[in-house]
């Protein structure tokens, strides 16, 4: 049923796209039709695949590092009042900073290679992971904590056997958001400074007025993001189910 719904939505979107192209009569270099984009994608499939691989590596490393960093930070915030007083306002402040402003600095500090893009992906997913997991840790059902106190469980045992398992659904929600945001962070980094990746390919195609290639790269990024989100959703659903 979900597959049929996704297929129907895709067909509808392509139909609307083609209708706009046909009704407006815009030149191909402004708005190419879906057939031309599909043809360009097939002709440039190996070039697109090469750049997709680079972006995928950046996204996956950034997702893993950002998740790990967010989990560690959330645990520290949950266990230390001093950390909540000192660190939590800084986390909120970082969300007021536009990520586009940080990307040139990361490129300057880390160079034009892989790690500046990974750092950008980490920055963009760090807060959702930390915030969601921290909220889950602080909202442990009171009945569980009362039972732990009755059984004289140590704070460490309460954390590992009660609070963390109870917070896994919240962590799963944050990871699903991160799976969508991580590709955005990597592509922003590629736009600022890179010679590889789908973001670089989009800029290159746009500069050469190859709008069909730009659309092909953009749609490839969209499909990759959807697949990544589906994978993370399945993995986190299993993780949250086991926690229950």
Task: Tell me the three-class secondary structure of 178-202, residue by residue.
Answer: HHHHHHHHHHHHHHHCCCCCHHHHH
Q: What is the DSSP letter of 97?
A: S
Closest CA to 31 of 45, 42, 17: 17
pLDDT over 90 (residue 41): yes
Higher per-residue pLDDT: 147 or 208? 208
Report pLDDT digits (tens) over 90-103. Answer: 887 777 777 777 87
* 32-243 is a CATH 1.10.630.10 domain: no
Helix and strand totals (H; E) in the chain: 12, 0
pLDDT score of 159: 79
Q: Residue 229: pLDDT band by 50, 70, 90 thresholds?
A: very high
Residues 6 or more apart whose Cβ sits within 8 Å of residue 131: 74, 91, 174
- Residue 161: is its pLDDT beyond 90? no
Burial of 97 (0-12, 13-18, 19+ CB in 10 A): exposed
Q: Is 70 exceeded by the pLDDT of residue 240? A: no
Q: What local confidence, expressed as pLDDT, does residue 198 receive?
A: 93
What span, in angstroms and rounded, lies between the C-alpha atoms of 116 and 85?
A: 30
- pLDDT value of position 84: 81
pLDDT at residue 122, as a whole number: 92
Residue 52 confidence (pLDDT): 95
Q: Given a cut of 70, is residue 3 above it in pLDDT?
A: no
Please, what is the average pLDDT of the chain? 86
Per-residue pLDDT, averaged over 129-142, amounts to: 89
Pairwise pLDDT comparison (193 vs 45), residue with the higher score: 45
- For the chain, give the percent of residues with pLDDT over 70: 96
Q: What is the pLDDT of residues 44-80, one digit of tens each?
A: 999 999 999 999 999 999 999 999 999 999 999 888 8
- Cα radius of gyration rounded to whole Å, the chain: 22
Q: What are phi and psi of 22, to 5 degrees?
A: -70, -40
pLDDT at 70: 93
pLDDT given at position 11: 83
What's the first-to-final CA gap in the chain, in angstroms? Answer: 27
- The pLDDT of 157-185, averaged and rounded, is 89
**pLDDT greater than 60 at residue 243:** no
């Amino acid at each position: 049923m979900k597959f049929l719904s996704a297929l129907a939505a895709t067909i509808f979107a392509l139909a609307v796209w083609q209708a706009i192209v046909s009704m407006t009569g815009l030149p191909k270099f402004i708005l190419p039709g879906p057939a031309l984009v599909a043809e360009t994608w097939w002709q440039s499939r190996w070039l697109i695949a090469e750049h997709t691989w680079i972006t995928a590596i950046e996204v996956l490393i950034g997702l893993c590092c950002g998740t790990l960093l967010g989990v560690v930070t959330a645990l520290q915030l949950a266990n230390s009042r001093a950390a909540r007083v000192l660190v939590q306002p800084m986390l909120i402040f970082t969300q007021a900073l536009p990520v586009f402003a940080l990307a040139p600095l990361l490129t300057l500090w880390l160079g034009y290679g892989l790690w500046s893009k990974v750092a950008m992906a980490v920055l963009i997913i760090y807060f959702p992971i930390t915030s969601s997991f921290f909220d889950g840790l602080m909202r442990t059902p009171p009945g569980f904590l009362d039972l732990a106190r009755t059984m004289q469980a140590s704070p460490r045992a309460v954390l590992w056997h009660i609070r963390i398992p109870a917070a896994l659904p919240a962590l799963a929600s944050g990871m699903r958001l991160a799976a969508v945001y991580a590709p955005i962070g990597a592509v922003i980094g590629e736009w600022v400074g890179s010679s590889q990746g789908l973001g670089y390919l989009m800029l290159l195609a746009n500069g050469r007025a190859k709008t069909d290639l730009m659309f092909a790269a953009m749609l490839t990024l969209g499909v990759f993001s959807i697949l990544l989100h589906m994978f993370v959703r399945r993995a986190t659903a299993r993780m949250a189910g086991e926690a229950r």
